[in-house]
A and B are shown apart, each in its own frame.
Chain A
Amino acid sequence: MLATSPAFKQNARDALADVGLQKALNFTRPSFAGRREAAVAALPEFERLRDIGRDIKNHTLANLDFYLETWAANVERSGGQVHWCSTAEDARAAVLAICQKAGARTVTKGKSMVSEELGINEHLEKHGIEPVETDLGEYILQIRREPPSHIIAPAFHLNREDWEESFRAVHTDLPEDRVFGERRDILTEARKKLREKFLAADVGITGANFLIAETGSSVIVTNEGNGDLTQTLPRVHIVLASIEKVVPTLEDACAMLRLLARSATGQDMSVYTTFSTGGRRPADLDGPEEYHVVVVDNGRTGMIGTEFQEMLRCIRCAACMNHCPVYFTVGGHAYGWVYPGPMGSVLTPSLIGVDKAGHLPNASTFCGKCESVCPVKIPLPKLMRHWREREFERHLTPQTMRTNLALWGWFARRPAAYRLATRVAARVLGWMGRKRGRFHSLPFAGGWTDGRDLPAPEGETFFARYARLQREGQV
């Protein structure tokens, strides 16, 4: 996927002016956080499970070579094939080769973020194979030729009118005067259309939420059942998985599953959690004859042994973006690549380079909500700060910002000067803003005041107040 992350600032401006997007964001925001909160409240052990989830992933990453080899040996023992791919190009070629060998004309697909990352659809199309996204959200995006804006709710930025318009445009065999009275009518039409595709497909491609070393299984988690139809009906099943998806045992997977759905959609368990191990057995009446796993590095090994290794614990639940004030202001597309929100702001620079994605780790208020809801306790603000540091070290930060940072740094290292400067600034600003209590505009601070007012300081600085309260014995 072509990244527009370098244009983040313009993307964000466009997003703020997009009335439809803002409507969808405001409509969705309360429900995402509310559902998770309710599910977590119903499981008193949830906080302990987060520690367990973090520890399982850390243990696996520390022994990743061993667990990947064990997993691969068990896939092969159950009759499956593993295709190791270092780069996106290798992975695209591997998928295409399997499809071509199967004589595939159409390929159904379950939702897979790695597939977006690798650009599988474009590659198949270029070689005359039709990929069909079957997750409802991904289906409409494929029709509209848009990328997903969220990793588990890919089309939540669209409103009902958008669905109707797109369905009328492509389902031209259906009566023009049909009425979409309710959301259900949209769903029913998609179900009917996609059922034909499920039955016709030669190959089914899914992602993987987990790989199980102990058994050589891949796991998918869905609510619609599209992933299961995708992997059950065609003759060939291809799993796309990145290397960090592996966990040692089924019991480890159980612990992770207790975290995943609650953090993602606020469900105790998603509707379908399916473990696939090899292809159809001789006596089976259904299931794919061939089972392939394309296991992809695509930049992840470069994170191992660095401060960004912790990011490889991510289980793609989307809790971080669901709770992010920046994400819910600009939406997912502004981030300009596959992974939006806080997890994307850490992962994207790792995978496509901080030179292209440097804006993303800067697009954070560091409020810390993302870290506080992360099911595997990834310190996302800390990792974003590491990217800011690297950006600074590589002189990718603009000169004005470097100058201002240097200026701030000079004061920060001299507490007496810092206190004096803030005291003077607070006095002057407080005096200037004494009438209205706020500023609509300020020199050198247009970036702030364009979007909102700056409250005028009232009275003493934080330092002064803290010192006073300490003297009075109140802190």
Chain B
Amino acid sequence: MSREAILGAIRRGLKRGPLPDDQQLALRARLSAHPRHLIPARSQLPRPEQVGLFVRNVEKEFGTVARVASLADVPAAVADYLAANNLPTDFAIAPHPELQRIDWSQRPMLALRPGRAEASDLVCLTHGYAAVAETGTLMLPATAQRPTTLNLLGDTAIVVLRASRIVGAMEEAWDLLRAEHRDDATGGFMPRNVMWVTGPSRSADIESTLELGAHGPRRLHVVLLDDDQTATGQAATG
């Protein structure tokens, strides 16, 4: 069987048999401790600056950010964005409890369809689980409340994100998922899919020149909810 052949060939190359128990134990301990390596200093900032860094990095990567003070302001922010970009007002939306709590009826022009995205959807709105200031990256784990297709199929992807969910580095976002998520199928913390998204889709395959909107969304817009008291100083200053 190929499995034994491959493992056997590896061991022959390493000039040993299967690892002895004590060494296996040490490796298992490394797996369960999953130690961090170097965390870049630029990600470790006081809160307001960390949120500011996230916003700057999203914009550097050709995304856009609108900051709102409360969940109640989200519909207006979404409607304004769609109008400003001449986009349709009907969109697919993640069936996430937090998005469902929003009173969308204050903007009657908006037509929401909860569920996964379909090929015909031009605009999709999803819920940001967490985000990384270091690189301006959104963390979007797939669950029944956050279908993956919403990140991919629309021409425009909108993500509603709480500022309190912005962390410095990827490792901190994994820690959130490790602590908060239980996958019923495996008993572990990893859902089927975790997408890390940094800006809208792009390609430089034609004459090494960057063009936005390859196969995924051409636009990525973050509606950032300033729910983090420690970070609101930034909202006032910039």
Contacts and interface: CB of A to CB of B under 8 A. Distances in A.
Contacts, number: 285
A114 B57 CA distance: 33
A291 to B, nearest CB: 8
B204 A265 contact: yes
Q: Chain A CB within 10 Å — which of B5, B171, B205, B211 has the most?
A: B205
Interface in A270-316: 270-287, 295, 297, 301-306, 309
Contact of A276 (B23, B169, B192): B192
Contact of B9 (A155, A255, A301): A301
A304 B13 contact: yes
B147 A285 contact: yes
Interface in B1-27: 1-3, 5-7, 9-15, 18-19, 23-24, 27
A254 interface: yes
A251 B10 contact: no
> Interface residue tally of chain A, by bracket?
35 or more
B185 A195 contact: no
B197 interface: yes
B196 interface: yes
Interface stretch (A7-15, A57-65, A202-210, A430-438): A57-65
A66 B5 contact: no
Interface of B is mostly: loop
A376 interface: no
Interface of B: 1-3, 5-7, 9-15, 18-19, 23-24, 27, 30-31, 34-38, 40-42, 57, 61, 95, 115-117, 119, 134-137, 142-144, 147-149, 151-153, 169-171, 174, 183-186, 188, 190-209, 211, 213-217
Contacts of A303: 13
Contact of A217 (B27, B147, B153, B190): B190
A243 B6 CA distance: 9
A99 B134 CA distance: 40
10 contacts: A64-B14, A65-B7, A84-B2, A153-B208, A158-B207, A254-B36, A272-B201, A282-B184, A285-B147, A297-B2
A187 B203 contact: yes
A271 B13 contact: no
Contact of A191 (B6, B15, B204, B215): B215
B211 A254 contact: no
Contacts of A232: 148-149, 152, 193
Contact of B207 (A24, A223, A250): A24
Interface of A: 24, 27-28, 31-32, 43-45, 48-49, 52, 56, 62-70, 72, 74, 77-79, 84-86, 90, 134-137, 140, 153-156, 158-160, 163, 183-184, 186-188, 191, 194-195, 198-199, 213-217, 223-226, 228-229, 232-233, 243, 248-252, 254-255, 257-258, 265, 267-287, 295, 297, 301-306, 309
A273 B196 contact: yes
B152 A70 contact: no
A106 B78 CA distance: 38
A224 B6 contact: no
Top 7 nearest A-B pairs by Cβ distance?
Answer: A225-B216, A304-B13, A301-B9, A305-B13, A224-B214, A137-B205, A283-B144
Contacts of A268: 57, 134-136, 198
Given A136-B203, A283-B143, 11 more contacts: A62-B14, A69-B7, A77-B186, A78-B192, A136-B215, A163-B206, A186-B206, A195-B119, A199-B119, A258-B40, A284-B192
B196 A187 contact: no
B210 to A, nearest CB: 9
Contacts of B215: 134, 136, 191, 194-195, 198, 224-226, 229
B132 to A, nearest CB: 8
Contacts of A297: 2, 5-6, 9
A153 B19 contact: no
Contact of A305 (B7, B15, B206, B208): B15
A163 to B, nearest CB: 6
A191 B213 contact: yes
A250 B204 contact: no
B198 A269 contact: yes
A228 B216 contact: yes
A77 to B, nearest CB: 6
B2 A85 contact: yes
A249 B35 CA distance: 8
A233 B38 CA distance: 36
Given A284-B144, A285-B144, A285-B147, A184 B196 contact: no
Q: Chain A CB within 10 Å — which of B134, B144, B195, B208 has the most?
A: B208
A246 B182 CA distance: 24
A280 B10 CA distance: 33
B115 A285 contact: yes
A278 B186 contact: yes
A44 B40 CA distance: 8
Given A84-B6, A281-B191, A63 B119 contact: no
